[in-house]
Chain A
Amino acid sequence: MAVIFLLIAASTLVAGVFLAAFLWAVRSGQFDDDRSPAVRMLDGLSHDQHHSTDKPTDR
């Protein structure tokens, strides 16, 4: 039955990785602003469109 401690050690290690990821996310400010990142995601997408479509019609 002692093998269960091996399993626990392994699972705790995996859980610990997630906890570490969470702590890193908090420390790097990902929980400070829950609104603008969602919009920031759209940025890259529109960037390509603009260079291909919008610019020529302006000039």
Chain B
Amino acid sequence: MSSSVDTLVCYHCGDPCKEEHLHAHGHEFCCPGCKAVYELLQESGLCDYYALSEQPGVKEKGSGEGVREDLLDLPEVRARFLEFSEGGIGRVTFRVPQMHCASCIWLLENLHRVEPAILRSRVRFPTRQLTVTFREEGLSLRGLVALLKRIGYGPDLSTDPKHEAPVGIPRSLYIQLGVAGFCFGNIMLFSFPEYLGADTSDLFLKRGFQFLSFLFSLPVLFVSSTSFFVSAWKGLRAHTINIDQPIALGIVALFARSVVDVLTEAGPGYFDSLAGLIFFLLIGRWYQAHTYRALRFDRGLDDLLPLAVLCKRGDEEVPVPVSELRPGDRILIRDQEMVPVDAMLQEGTGHVDYSFITGEPLPLRRMPGEVIRAGGRQRGGLIELEVLRGFQDSGLKRMWEEQMHGERPLMPRLIDGVARRFTVVVLLIATGAGLYWWGHDSSQVWPVVTAVLIVACPCALALSMPFTYGHAIRILSSRGLFLRDAEVVERLAHIDTVVFDKTGTLTEREAYDVRWEGKELSPYEQALVASLGRHSVHPLSQALVSALRGSVVPAVDVHEHVGRGVEGLVDGTSVRIGSSAFCGGPEQAVKNGDARVHVRINGTWRGAFAMRKRARSDMSTTVGMLRRQHEVHLLTGDVAVDATVAQAFRDPEIHIGQDPVDKTRCIRSLQAMGRRVLMAGDGLNDAGALQQSDVGVTVSESSASLAPSSDAILRGDELATLPHAMRLARRARRIVFASLGISFLYNVVGVSFAVSGHLTPLVAAILMPLSSASVVGFVTVAMLLADSRRN
């Protein structure tokens, strides 16, 4: 096949077409799966899918996560998913993490044209949810899931959608914002005549405008500012000072002073400042709430395990929920399925991949009579096991609890610390000014004290942080790092130690660099090896097949010898690939953690492929950059470290043979030494460490993957974002401090007006928006500059 093949991309999914690409209907496809989806869509007249976005498809990647389709026929499993089922009509909501573009939305909302039993399907894009209403006699839940899988949008069945907390910006925030904006605008108009020195001799007109302002401030107070009062009250009950308390105090002071002013005919009141203040504060809240709602950061063990497994009861095979498995039950586990409890192998050969626990994806061979621990994933044929312990007593459950029990050390939030000092200072100034005027002119006590409370209301302070951290979250998301919330930005700024997990974090999970050791193989011989490798499910064989190019030659008489290799007749030639002993090669010690696949053609040993786990791009530069300002550690469950990874680290930084509990302990001991630790892992065998660390980052191939108890998700190909993120977080912190300085200046000016009794409504109306706008403008520009400065 010519090299031009490499440049072709699949019409459906946009992946490069590799050796077995297909040409059909005038388009190129990378695999039969993509072609099948295309044909299905064409048949249903849904080819606009391809017109809305370029190569919108998602290649179906085999995954054994979650519920098996046949379990969806179980009443209890069905009931967990169906939101509604009555009169033959059912409604179900799935999370479909793959949806990403206009085409996806369009196709998923046109499902009724593929399957007539579907009445209606609606997408909620921010949360990647799909709600389908369907006729239950025409289509089962299982059939629906199968249909979605067929078009490449297999739903995420590992979690219970009904129990998920509602995510997204609450509607109440929009309502509060709308009401505040509406009232702010109107009150400002009513205040203009007064400010602009219009003829105010007409008392009726003047009083009328004041009364209208008062009327419009009521919804602001009772609808828009409730959240500030609630939060302030909660803080008071918990005996802590938070930022909302001085804000609530300011709001109350503004309103009380205004009402008193109007009633005593002392002035027009500060209703416009009140409405403006709350409007700006709510904009800050809205901006900060606008984070990544499609991602989940809080998966537990139950989400990672299958819901149920097939259990042999007499002659029948019935699905049984994992929690109801009893010792002595016979369970059946198929290819790619996880063994959820400790069990003894009875029939079949186990190729158990313990990557969930150790991170090592190469499967281990288990023969009947041997024990398979919970968390192992079968790769290969069907196996039958006898349950040894129920789920609650399984080693996996215990290990999970042990690694999860630690509490991460508290990190004081910057805003709370500032708010505490701020509140104390404001109260001191207010009391001082009150006492002073008490002695000189007691009629001035009320106006001065309220003026101090009004002007000291930390509006700019409350805005600078949401905007700075909101910008940081947005900037980082465009670079492949998705933070859970603004607090993570603050935690990032304190990090002084970075701990990496190896497999899946620094190396790609199942990608290998392949190097041939031995006498050169001809292209024809390579094709023979690749054609034989196709028949093996072993990950190394599959990595080898994808590394070798060449046309496919039919292989016959293929036998896979478990734990040794595979042999067969390819194009009339006898070929063996596998272990050294199996292929008659020399005894060789494993060095550098490289795995070797030996090759024997026509009875003679020809050499071996050295397979090295591929390190992620930028891995060593990232580690080098981090080392400049941080302590760096590498944790791995393996006993040997691949050479590529080892080069990037120095000797004392590498910790080998760490199981999940060890990893958590390691983080804890670093923290005991006073270090602030960032842990980057893949979230499978280091969930506890991720949770224990001050910032846990899940490194993931796709944002749709599992992220238990982590603070951030990093795209695997964007490792270099990590040092930049910490730099940006530290700069964001400095920017917040600088903006605090600016708002402090405004406060000093305002307070000096206030204590001398000169804070007129006009001064307040100018000062308040001006300080807010300049702080927001400053942090926006500063964050953009901070991001563009690379070092």
Q: Mark A16-54, 1 if CB is under 8 A from B, else 0.
A: 001100110011010111111011101100100111001
Complex formed: what's the CA distance from A45 to B132 in Å?
Answer: 22
- Which of B102, B110, B122, B175 contacts A23 (CB under 8 A)? B175
| Given known A15-B182, A31-B174, contact A58–B43 (CB-CB < 8 A) | yes
Complex formed: what's the CA distance from A50 to B750 in Å?
Answer: 66
Contact (Cβ within 8 A) A1 B174: no
Complex contacts, B106 vs chain A, CB 8 Å: 39, 42-43
Contact (Cβ within 8 A) A19 B182: yes
The chain B residue sitting closest to A4, CB to CB, is B205
Interface centre among A8, A12, A18, A46 (most CB of B within 10 A): A46
Contact (Cβ within 8 A) B110 A43: yes
Q: How many A-B residue pairs have CB under 8 A?
A: 77
Complex contacts, B45 vs chain A, CB 8 Å: 50-51, 54-55, 58
The chain B residue sitting closest to A27, CB to CB, is B171
Whether B47 sits at the interface, judged by CB under 8 Å, is yes
Complex formed: what's the CA distance from A46 to B48 in Å?
Answer: 7
Complex formed: what's the CA distance from A42 to B19 in Å?
Answer: 37
Not counting A19-B182, A22-B178, A26-B171, a sample of 11 additional A-B residue pairs whose C-beta atoms are within 8 angstroms of each other reads: A23-B178, A23-B179, A32-B126, A33-B126, A36-B123, A36-B124, A39-B52, A39-B109, A42-B52, A42-B106, A54-B47
The chain A residue sitting closest to B182, CB to CB, is A19
Classify the interface of chain A: helix, strand, loop or mixed: helix
Nearest Cβ on chain B to A32's Cβ, whole angstroms: 6
| Interface size band for B | 20 to 34
- A residues sitting closer than 8 Å to B (CB atoms) are 1-2, 4-5, 8, 12, 15, 18-19, 22-23, 26-27, 29, 31-36, 38-40, 42-43, 46, 49-51, 54-55, 58
Whether B649 sits at the interface, judged by CB under 8 Å, is no
Can you offer 10 A-B residue contacts whose CB atoms are under 8 A?
A1-B202, A5-B208, A31-B174, A32-B168, A35-B125, A39-B52, A39-B105, A42-B52, A46-B48, A51-B45
| Given known A8-B212, A39-B52, contact A19–B178 (CB-CB < 8 A) | yes
Q: Mark B592-624, 1 if CB is under 8 A from A, else 0.
A: 000000000000000000000000000000000
Complex formed: what's the CA distance from A33 to B130 in Å?
Answer: 12
Complex contacts, A15 vs chain B, CB 8 Å: 182, 185-186
Contact (Cβ within 8 A) B126 A34: yes
Q: Mark B209-251, 1 if CB is under 8 A from A, else 0.
A: 0001000000000000000000000000000000000000000
Whether B89 sits at the interface, judged by CB under 8 Å, is no
Complex formed: what's the CA distance from A34 to B169 in Å?
Answer: 12
Complex formed: what's the CA distance from A58 to B43 in Å?
Answer: 6
Complex formed: what's the CA distance from A51 to B52 in Å?
Answer: 18
Complex formed: what's the CA distance from A40 to B123 in Å?
Answer: 10
The chain B residue sitting closest to A49, CB to CB, is B48
Contact (Cβ within 8 A) B126 A35: yes
Whether B669 sits at the interface, judged by CB under 8 Å, is no
Nearest Cβ on chain B to A4's Cβ, whole angstroms: 7
Contact (Cβ within 8 A) A19 B105: no
Complex formed: what's the CA distance from A42 to B48 in Å?
Answer: 10
Q: Mark B165-187, 1 if CB is under 8 A from A, else 0.
A: 00011010011001100100110
- Which of B125, B175, B205 contacts A26 (CB under 8 A)? B175
Complex contacts, B204 vs chain A, CB 8 Å: 2
Complex formed: what's the CA distance from A46 to B52 in Å?
Answer: 11
Nearest Cβ on chain A to B26's Cβ, whole angstroms: 12
